[in-house]
Structure formats: structure tokens, C-alpha cells
């Protein structure tokens, strides 16, 4: 049920722009925006659905996001900002906060005479151990948050428990003379799985598209263990990390004795097992779960929560209504990261 917004709420013009972009047109600011209609465009992280579509774009982002975007073919210009380093424009003050999603991922905090806005991009709390952590400002008037896993069926186990589950699957599979294969997308999730596996010391081979990002993680001090790029001729007996699309297109097809673990928040759905012919489902997500989302909205206590990327905005809004938190929905489709 919608509630009437407090009459004292300061107006903030927030609009959807294109497939994923969001604009604050009165402040000349864009978030994950690929157009030319803003003076200052901030890119939250280096997944393809958030990167600029135009290679000639000029954007702001963190140093690690810029490094990863270049690995993925971005040839545009970027002004890098460290976390906590404010940028002053004629209309606003902008500060980046660590988002805990993947390495380099940032939330964008905008302060202006019209009020404050916190844009999350994709984020996770507690943060991925293969990221710079998670931090938020004390308060924001407008909170623009993704809700990819915005249903109460999504509640994650602790990272310690998930890490042990990853290592146990690898160790038990190897002990049974099978090759363990982890399905995880090439940027972020693959490196997180590698970080979890590092204490085993066993050789890991990662899909080539993921391998080219790994040195950025190592430069940032993330331990990825004993790894190399995938080699079809020598992969058997190693721990393998690849994507769902690659395993369906011949990755390690010469290895007859292999067992597959699917690492994703979507692994919560038992149907994933038959869809992917996976032997193990590990609900390892780099997005926050439903209950952390609701808790964080309460902690920030914004005048308005703007919900994006959710399977059912009405569910999130219902829970926020119960807590007297105003909310609205910016219509953007849920996408899996790449």
C-alpha cells in the first residue's frame, strides 16, 4: 500500500536513463550512464552492464574499476577517485564509498542544496572478502538501491561457512579422483572463489577471460592462491573455474571424471541443479540478501528509498511500509553479472 510522502520532503529529480543509467539532471550527474547528457558520470564497477557503452566516454570511477574496465576493452577516459576523496562541482559534493560487491566497486554519495543521494550500484554487506570492504554515510535523504535478491527466500550463510563449503567440495572431489569445476562468472565471483580456495594450495586453472583480471586483484593484495590460465591439455586434476556458458561450449569436455559446483545467489533455487546439471549448489552471492537490504534501509532512514533491479518490488515495498519507510520503484530488469 502506498503512503503519502511527507510534505516536508525536499524535491530531488531522479530519472531512469537508458537500460541501466540513472540521472540527477538538475545536478548534471549520471550513475552508470552511457549517454552524453551529464557533465559528471560515475561508474560504480566494471561489470559489463554498468560500464559505459561508448568507448569514448569520460567518466569517474575508482582506480581498480578503471584498471578492470581497461582489461575489458574500455578505451575511454576516466578520472579516478579514491574512496572518501570528495569531488566538488558547482552543484554538489560527491564521495565514493566501498560497495563490497567486487574489487573497485563503489557507491556514490551526492550532497547538494537539494538534499543527499546514495546510489549503490551493485553492493554487498557483509562485503565480499575479495573487495575493499563496505562503508556507508551516516544518513541519506534518497537511497537508490538495487534489490536483485529482494525476496525473503534469499538469506545468505556467513562467508566463513560458504568458504568452508567451497573448500570441502574441492577437497572431497579431488580425494575421489574427480576434477572439481566451479561455475562462477569471470570478474568478481571467480576471484572470490579463488580467494576461498587459496588455503588449500592446490593448483587452480581459470578461464582465460577471468585470468586477465587476476593480476589487478593481486596488486590490490587479494590472495588468489596457486593459479594459472586454463589449458585443455593439462586441466585434469586441477581445480577449474569457468562460466556456465563456457562449460556448455566445450570447457574441459575432455575430462570425463568431473564434478560441478554452481556458485551464485541463484543457487538458492533447487531448480538450478537440473538446469545446469550441477552436482553441488553453493549460494554464494556478491549482492546483499533480502534481510540485509531491509536492515540497511532502516539504518539509513532515508526520506525515500528508490528500488531498482528486483524480481518483485511490491515485496520490498511491503516490508518497508511496515517500517514506515517511503519507497518507490525505478523499473529496471534483474540481470546476472558477467
Ordered by where they begin, the domains of the chain are: 15-153+286-329 (3.60.15.10), 159-282 (3.40.50)
First-to-last CA distance in the chain? 35
pLDDT value at residue 45: 97
Task: State which H helix or E strand residue 110 sits in.
Answer: strand 106-112
- CA distances from residue 69 to 93, 124, 196, 322 in whole angstroms, order as listed: 25, 20, 24, 40
Task: State which H helix or E strand residue 217 sits in.
Answer: helix 208-219
- Orientation angle between helical segments 313-322 and 290-300, nearest 10 degrees: 50
pLDDT value at residue 186: 97
pLDDT value at residue 7: 37
What the block records as the C-alpha cell of 316 is: 520490498
pLDDT value at residue 148: 96
Neighbours of 245 (CB within 10 A): 12
pLDDT value at residue 11: 75
Q: pTM for the full model? A: 0.93
Closest to 94 (Cα-Cα) out of 77, 105, 82, 103: 82
pLDDT value at residue 270: 65
Q: pLDDT per residue over 145-173, tens digit each? A: 999 999 999 999 999 999 999 999 999 99
pLDDT value at residue 233: 97
pLDDT value at residue 160: 97
Instruction: Name residues of the chain where pLDDT drops below 50.
Output: 1-9
Q: Could you give the dihedral angle defined by the CA atoms of residues 52, 37, 83 and 105, in that order, rounded to the nearest 10 degrees?
A: -30
* Angstrom distance (rounded) from CA 237 to CA 320: 49
pLDDT value at residue 172: 98
Amino acid at each position: 500500500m502506498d503512503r503519502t510522502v511527507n510534505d516536508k520532503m525536499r524535491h530531488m529529480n531522479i530519472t531512469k536513463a537508458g537500460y541501466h543509467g540513472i540521472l540527477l539532471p538538475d545536478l548534471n550527474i549520471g550513475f552508470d550512464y552511457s549517454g552524453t547528457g551529464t557533465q559528471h558520470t560515475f561508474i560504480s564497477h566494471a561489470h559489463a552492464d554498468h560500464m559505459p557503452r561508448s568507448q569514448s566516454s569520460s567518466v569517474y570511477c575508482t582506480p581498480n574499476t578503471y584498471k578492470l574496465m581497461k582489461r575489458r576493452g574500455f578505451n575511454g577516459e576516466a578520472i579516478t577517485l579514491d574512496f572518501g576523496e570528495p569531488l566538488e562541482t558547482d552543484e554538489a559534493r560527491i564521495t565514493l564509498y566501498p560497495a563490497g560487491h567486487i574489487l573497485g566497486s563503489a557507491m556514490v554519495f551526492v550532497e547538494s542544496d537539494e538534499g543527499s543521494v546514495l546510489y549503490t550500484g551493485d553492493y554487498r554487506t557483509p562485503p565480499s572478502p575479495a573487495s575493499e570492504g563496505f562503508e556507508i554515510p551516516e544518513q541519506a535523504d534518497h537511497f537508490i538501491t538495487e534489490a536483485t535478491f529482494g525476496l525473503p527466500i534469499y538469506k545468505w550463510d556467513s562467508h566463513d561457512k560458504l568458504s568452508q563449503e567451497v573448500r570441502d567440495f574441492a577437497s572431497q572431489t579431488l580425494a575421489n579422483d574427480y576434477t572439481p569445476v566451479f561455475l562462477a562468472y569471470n570478474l568478481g565471483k571467480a576471484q572470490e572463489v579463488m580467494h576461498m580456495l587459496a588455503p588449500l594450495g592446490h593448483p587452480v586453472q581459470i578461464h582465460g577471460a577471468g585470468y586477465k583480471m587476476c593480476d589487478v586483484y593481486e596488486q590490490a593484495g587479494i590472495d588468489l592462491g596457486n593459479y594459472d590460465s586454463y589449458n585443455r591439455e593439462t586441466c585434469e586434476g586441477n581445480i577449474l573455474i569457468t562460466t556456465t556458458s563456457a562449460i556448455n561450449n566445450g570447457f574441459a569436455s575432455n575430462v570425463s571424471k568431473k564434478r560441478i559446483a554452481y556458485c551464485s545467489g541463484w543457487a538458492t533455487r533447487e531448480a538450478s541443479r537440473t538446469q545446469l546439471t550441477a552436482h553441488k549448489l553453493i549460494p554464494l552471492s556478491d549482492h546483499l540478501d533480502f534481510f540485509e537490504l531491509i536492515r540497511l534501509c532502516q539504518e539509513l532512514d532515508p526520506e525515500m528509498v528508490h528500488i531498482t533491479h528486483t524480481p518483485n518490488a511490491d515485496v520490498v515495498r511491503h516490508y518497508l511500509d511496515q517500517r514506515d519507510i517511503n519507497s518507490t520503484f525505478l523499473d529496471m530488469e534483474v540481470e546476472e553479472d558477467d
